[in-house]
Structure 1
Amino acid sequence: MIRLNTDNLNVGYGEHLIVKNLNVEIPDKKITTIIGSNGCGKSTLLKAITRIISHRSGSIVLDGKDITKENTKVLAKKMAILPQTPDIINGLTVGELVSYGRFPYQKGFGRLSNRDIEVIDWALEVTGTSTFKYRSVDALSGGQRQRVWIAMALAQETEIIFLDEPTTYLDMAHQLEVLELLQRLNIEQDRTIIMVLHDLNQAARFADYIIALKDGEVVKAGNSEEVINRSVLKKVFHIDAEIGRDPRTNKPMCITYNLIKGEQKNEKDLDSISTIAHAVH
C-alpha cells in the first residue's frame, strides 16, 4: 500500500536544482532507507516531503492530498521528522523536550492534558529513556540523546517518521541500538520509517525498501537484493564493490570496495570540456 508519493518533484536552492523530476513511492508500514553520496539530494528530499522547505514544481501526495494544501497541525499528526542535527535548548529536561511532540494536539494556552502526559510517559518507556525524564538533555550521551529525540517524534503520535542520518556521530553500539529501536517500532507499532543512512550494510540489514539517489535522481529503488549490488553501487558511488552475504541476516553486504579512479577522472574531464564549451558559446 502506498500512502505517500512524489510526482515529478523539483526542489532547489537559488538557481541550483537539487531534486529533479523525482518520482518515488514510500511503502506503508515499512522501513525505507535513502542512500547516495553527499550532496545528491537525500536531506533535501526529506525536507521537501515534510514541508520544511518548499518545492519548485511537481507534487507531494499524502493520503491522496497535496501536502501544500494540508493544514499544518493536521499534517503534524500524520508525519514527524528528526533532523540531522536537532537544536537543543540549554537546560531543557528530557520530559520537557518530549512534551514538544504534543504541540499538534494542544489548544488554548498549551497546557498538557492527562492524555498528553500518558503519551509522553509511553514514548519515554518505549525508547528506554524514562529514567532520564528529569535530566538535562545536554547532559546525555549521544546515543541517549538520539533515543530522546525519537521519543519526541513518537509523542507526536504520527504513523510516519522521517529521520535524517539518525546514526551520525554515534559509536557502533549506539548506532545498532537506535536502528534496532526503529525496527522494533516498525514491527510492533506499524510505524512507517523513512531514513537517510550512509552505511550501506546498515541500509541492507534494516530496510525493507531502499532508494538510491544520484544528482537528485533515482538510480534504483527496491529491496536490498535489487539495490545493494555492484552495478547500482558503481553508478551511485563510483566504486567497484565486492558484495557478500551477512551471515546473520543473509542480506547482501559490501565487503570491500575500490574507487573507480579512471572513470572518475574521465567524468571530471567531460565536465571541464562541457564548461569550456559553454564559455565559448
Structure 2
Amino acid sequence: MVRLYTEDLSIGYEERLIVKELSVKIPDKKITTIIGPNGCGKSTLLKAITRIISHQSGTVILDGGDISKENTKLLAKKMAILPQTPESARGLTVGELVSYGRFPYQKGFGRLTPKDYEVIDWALEVTGTFEFKFRPVDALSGGQRQRVWIAMALAQETEIIFLDEPTTYLDMAHQLEVLELLQKLNQEQERTIVMVLHDLNQAARFADFIIALKDGEIVKAGDCEEVIHPNVLEQVFHIDAEIGRDPRTNKPMCLTYNLLKGEK
C-alpha cells in the first residue's frame, strides 16, 4: 500500500521552476532517501510535500486526499518535518522544546494534558535524551541537539517523518548515531522516514528506497542496487564512480570517483 505520492508536481519560486512535473510514490513503513547535487530541488520537494511551501501544479496525495485541502492540525498529526536548519531554541529546555510537538493535539488555551506529558517523556526516552529534559537546549552538543529535535518530531505521533539533511554539521560518530536512531524507529515502530542526504554511502546503507534528482527531475528511483550505480551517478553528479561492496552490510558503496570533463 502507498499512502503518499505525488502526481505531476511542479514547484517554483516566482518564474523559476525548481521541480518539474515530478511523480513519485513513497514506500510506506520504509526509509526513503533523496540524493542529488546542490540546487536540484531536494529540499524544495520536501517542503512542498509537507505543505511548508505551495506548489504551482500537480498534486500531493496522502491517504487518498489532496494535502492542499487538508486541515492543518489533521495534517500535522500525519506527518512531521525536521528542517535543514531548525529554528533557534534559545532559552528553552529540552522538555519545553519537545512539548511543541504536541501542538496539533492542544485545544483551547493549549495546556498540556497528562497524555501530552506521557508522550513527551516517551519521545525523550526513545531518543535517549530523557536525562537532558531540564537542561537548556543550547547547552547540548550537536548530536544531542539533533536527537532532541527528532524527539520533538516524534512527540507529534506521526507515522511519517521528513528530515532535511539531518546529519549536516555533525561529526562521523554523531551522524551514525542519528541515522541508527532513525533506522530503529523505522524497524521497531514502522515509521515511514523520508530524508535528504548528501553522503551516498550513508544513503545506500540506511535507505530502502532512493530517489536521485537532478535539475528538478527524477533520474532514477529504486533500491540502492539500482541507484548507487556508476551510470546513475554519472548522470546525476557528473562523476566517474568506482562502486564496491560495504564489507559489513554487503550494500553498494562508492569507493572513489573522478570528475568527468566536458559539459554536464
Give yes or no for TM over 0.5: yes
TM-score, normalised with respect to structure 2: 0.99
Unaligned runs of 5+ in 1: 268-281
Aligned equivalent of 2:70: 70
1:29-108 to 2 correspondences below 5 Å: 29-108=29-108
Residue aligned with 1:88, SS: coil
Deviation at 1:88, TM superposition (A): 1.4
Aligned equivalent of 2:224: 224
Aligned equivalent of 2:117: 117
AA aligned to 2:202 is: Q
Q: Higher Cα Rg: structure 1 or 2?
A: 1
Residue aligned with 1:24, SS: strand
Aligned equivalent of 1:235: 235
Residue aligned with 2:3, SS: strand
1:1-40 to 2 correspondences below 5 Å: 1-40=1-40
Residue aligned with 2:157, SS: coil
Deviation at 1:152, TM superposition (A): 0.2
Deviations 1:210-263 (A, max 9, x none): 00000000000000000000000000000000000000000000000000022x
Identity %: 82
Aligned equivalent of 2:245: 245
Q: Give the whole-Å Cα distance in 2 for the aligned partners of 1:114 and 1:227.
A: 46
Aligned equivalent of 1:272: none
In terms of fraction of residues, the more helix-rich structure is 1
Residue aligned with 1:248, SS: coil
TM-score, normalised with respect to structure 1: 0.93
AA aligned to 2:215 is: D
Deviation at 1:122, TM superposition (A): 0.2
AA aligned to 1:51 is: R
Deviation at 1:69, TM superposition (A): 0.4
Residue aligned with 1:242, SS: strand
Deviation at 1:189, TM superposition (A): 0.3
Unaligned runs of 5+ in 2: none
Q: Give the whole-Å Cα distance in 2 for the aligned partners of 1:92 and 1:120.
A: 15
Greater than 4 Å deviation, 4+ residue runs: none
Q: Give the whole-Å Cα distance in 2 for the aligned partners of 1:218 and 1:89.
A: 35
**What is the number of equivalent residue pairs in this alignment?**
264
Q: Give the whole-Å Cα distance in 2 for the aligned partners of 1:227 and 1:11.
A: 24
For the aligned residue pairs, the C-alpha RMSD in angstroms reads 0.5
1:167-178 to 2 correspondences below 5 Å: 167-178=167-178
Deviation at 1:166, TM superposition (A): 0.1
Deviations 1:178-221 (A, max 9, x none): 00000000000000000000000000000000000000000000
Residue aligned with 1:28, SS: coil
AA aligned to 1:29 is: K
The reply to whether residue 188 of structure 1 matches residue 194 of structure 2 is no
Q: Give the whole-Å Cα distance in 1 for the aligned partners of 2:218 and 2:3.
A: 19
